[in-house]
Amino acid sequence: MFFKKKSVVPYLIMTFIAGLISVFDNVMNVVYAETLATEEKNPVASWIIEHWGVVGLVEIKALGTILAVALMCKLAYTKYRIAIIPIFLFQICLFLYLAFASVQSSMIFNRDMFVPIKEFFRFYL
């Protein structure tokens, strides 16, 4: 059986969701590539954009996501799987920031509140 312990499944689900949020973040980098250099709030990401451009940032984040998810999957089967929880919670906070806090305050109580999420799906459709 693939899952040796039933208690591993929630950690793998948290890993999947954390990875999905990271993909959402990276897609937003592509969607907003034209303005990302001036609007990026993360100083490390800004430095990467300065030196390698948005393409470099997207590639580095994609590689980081793959490595992080692989490591978290391996961690789920160890006694250190508890480390997945703070990563998951951080990713949830990141999603809430990207999806809602980055929206202008005038958009919050009308239908434009979900613009980043709509842009994500528009990118794939």
Phi, psi for 17 (deg, rounded to 5) = -65, -40
Task: Flag whether pLDDT at 10 surpasses 90.
Answer: yes
Task: Flag whether pLDDT at 62 surpasses 50.
Answer: yes
- DSSP label at 112? G
Task: Flag whether pLDDT at 118 surpasses 50.
Answer: yes
Q: What pLDDT, on a 0 to 100 scale, did the predictor assign at position 107? A: 46
Task: Flag whether pLDDT at 70 surpasses 60.
Answer: yes
Residues 38-48 have a mean pLDDT of: 90
**Average model confidence (pLDDT) across the chain:** 86
> Cα angle at 93 between 87 and 9, to 5 degrees?
45
User: What's the pLDDT band for 108 if we cut at 50, 70, 90?
Assistant: very low
